[in-house]
Chain A
Amino acid sequence: MNAANFKHALFCAFITLIISYPILGLNLVSAGTSMGLEGASTVTIIGIFMAVAVVFLFQLCRDSAMAKLGQLPRPDFTSNRPPMTEKTRLKIQNIVILTIILGASLWPFIASRGSIDLATLVLIYIMLALGLNVVVGLAGLLDLGYVAFYAVGAYTFALLSQYFGVSFWFALPVGALLAALFGLALGFPVLRLRGDYLAIVTLGFGEIIRILLNNWTSLTGGPNGIGGIPDPTLFGLEFGRRIKEEGNLSFHEFFGIAYDSTHKVIFLYLIALVLAALTFFAVRRLMQMPVGRSWEALREDEIAARSLGLSRTGVKLSAFTIGAFFAGFAGTVFASKQGFISPESFVFLESAIILAIVVLGGMGSQFGVILAAIAVTILPELAREFSEYRMLIFGAAMVLMMVWRPQGLMPMRRIHIELEKQE
């Protein structure tokens, strides 16, 4: 306990005194020639001084207290265990994921309609983020126009249903494949660019698609959008109160239960859940396959990868196409969920949010991305009371996140292929 310590403690105590004034909302008022304190009861003032005393004492003996604390034996959970092998880790992860999926598939039967609707949106964002994660996280290609592929998926379904009366189940693969085709077509000329240049070109592509949808009024209805997109059916059973298409049965009549509009919401949620799970497992599998490894190899050291016979364009193109494919999936589900789409749903902000999800979650990390997708979609809903400050809080949270945890919520842990010991 030297003089420097004492001085520091005094300073801290003084700061405590000062900041308690605005924090507790005290007010200085002038009464004639003297100043008075308003809004402070005796208890508050005593409290403040006690706090000041605590701060002073703590700062005064901080060094010795901390040193003592450091000497306490710390429980050590990790030292005596051999490191988990890759196989057991994968097994545990699979069990966790299956439990989550099981829980998520039972959950809508006890939840409210509004929250199921929100959860469907979360699942759509999970699909999008997992798809973008392939492009940005694994292949290291910065794509700012990802929403374009989402739009392609959604508009494919909307247009097909409007002009040809195509059902959801047919439009789902078609939308995804068409989005993938767009990814391929865009990727081919632009993938020789890298980094910032690639980002700008993809950004431009996203805008082209949106403006095209906005201005091609004769086909897409322009800013008015397309409505009346049909709901998915369960083996030909419709979820509406009345049957829209000749020859179909309605779900509640078939099972002889009362009509409930929640059925449709739950069904859509389950479809989204299945597709999100499909996306998750497909991407996870891809990561362990030669394609996944070549994405990483090319990201790590392009020159070495090329010298080993990996074609730069081919590898990048595969990442781009596969990412776009999953966006097309998500787009089709989105169109079906909303029943109405317009170019306004596919603005640049969407791309930015999906990218933010990937970066916040941890590039390349699937669990992290899912967590971030949930957080980014639900937090703004929870923060509705703050209304106009919502985006401000969102922004601040993102800045803080990047300062404290730049590697993301759950940083990526690669799935290794292990060489088993040959005895």
Chain B
Amino acid sequence: MLEVRDLSMRFGGLLAVDRVSLDVQEHEIVSIIGPNGAGKTTVFNCMSGFYRPSGGKILFEDREIQGTPDYKISRLGLVRTFQHVRLFSRMTVVENLLVAQHRHLNTNLFSGLIKTPNYRLREQKSLDRAAYWLNRVGLLDMANRDAGNLAYGQQRRLEIARCMVTEPKLLMLDEPAAGLNPAETRELNQLIISLKEDYHVSVVLIEHDMSLVMEISDRINVINQGRPLASGTPDEIRHNDDVIKAYLGEA
């Protein structure tokens, strides 16, 4: 489904990502782990079109997408979240979800100005979808509050819901568990698994929380200092000597 081949990203003299390859199959959760500054988020930024990679190819459903503008990539069904929550904090929770559906609500100006029945129907549909996802992530009671006033864990869940209303095929989560307490992490765990099982979305995950990664990932890619270090199932990674060295230091 998604295939990254020999991806490189150079910032001036710094080679932040050096020939990283990974692939994601349908119906799969793939994690990218690695020490801080390893280049995980840079890989993400290349994949989601925020950076134009210096080398390598990114194929999404057999189409080359490296260098395509970010908003077009997201319209293809490759949607991401951010390491630091990026909500429209002065809009309400439900409006955050409406903004995300604008390409579904593709109506012209005129029909909106005079509120044609067709326009109302579409508007109602997107409201319904928003309500469904709010219910799914347990935020339905907060629907009319300003997004900025939510608790941190709720903001995280809202961000995922905001991605899901765009009906993505592949979801990229950048450290979704950062700043969550253990109970919230468990909930997130279940949510991500359910996204895969019930909504047939593939997930690429960057995460430091090893318990989360080991529990839900089908496969794991390890990156160290911009270079791929290892890849395999959680069990393989757990017993990989290189990975242990990189994380714990040379013994």
Interface residues of A (CB under 8 A from B): 86, 282, 285-286, 289-291, 293-294, 296-297, 300-301, 303-312, 414, 416-419, 422
Contacts and interface: CB of A to CB of B under 8 A. Distances in A.
B112 A291 contact: yes
Interface in B53-91: 69-72, 74-75, 79-80, 82, 86-91
Contacts of A285: 112-113
Contacts of B72: 309
Contacts of B105: 290
B90 A300 contact: yes
Given A291-B112, A304-B88, A309-B74, 9 more contacts: A289-B112, A293-B91, A296-B90, A300-B89, A304-B86, A307-B71, A414-B91, A419-B127, A419-B140
A294 B103 CA distance: 11
Contacts of B130: 419
A307 B113 contact: no
Interface stretch (B34-42, B93-101, B212-220): B93-101
A416 B113 contact: no
9 contacts: A286-B112, A289-B109, A289-B112, A293-B99, A297-B91, A300-B88, A304-B86, A304-B88, A418-B94
Given A285-B112, A293-B99, A301-B87, A418 B71 contact: no
B144 A297 contact: no
Question: Which 6 interchain pairs have the tightest Cβ spacing?
Answer: A304-B86, A419-B143, A309-B74, A289-B112, A419-B94, A300-B88
Contact of A311 (B71, B86, B87, B166): B71
B107 interface: yes
A310 B112 CA distance: 18
A306 B70 contact: yes
A307 B48 contact: yes
Q: Main SS of chain A's interface residues? A: helix
B225 interface: no
Interface in B102-121: 102-103, 105, 107, 109, 112-113
Contacts of A296: 88, 90-91
B162 interface: yes
Contacts of A297: 88, 91, 99
Contacts of A309: 71-72, 74-75, 79, 100, 102-103, 166
Given A312-B71, A416-B144, A418-B144, A291 B109 contact: yes
Given A289-B112, A304-B87, A417 B99 contact: no
A416 B92 contact: yes
A417 B98 CA distance: 9
A307 B144 contact: no
A88 to B, nearest CB: 14
B237 interface: no
B131 interface: yes
A422 B131 contact: yes
B191 to A, nearest CB: 19
B46 to A, nearest CB: 14
A69 B162 CA distance: 50
Contacts of A291: 109, 112
A416 B94 CA distance: 9
Contacts of A312: 71
A289 to B, nearest CB: 4
Nearest to B100: A308
A385 B233 CA distance: 85
Contacts of B113: 282, 285-286, 289
A285 B143 CA distance: 22
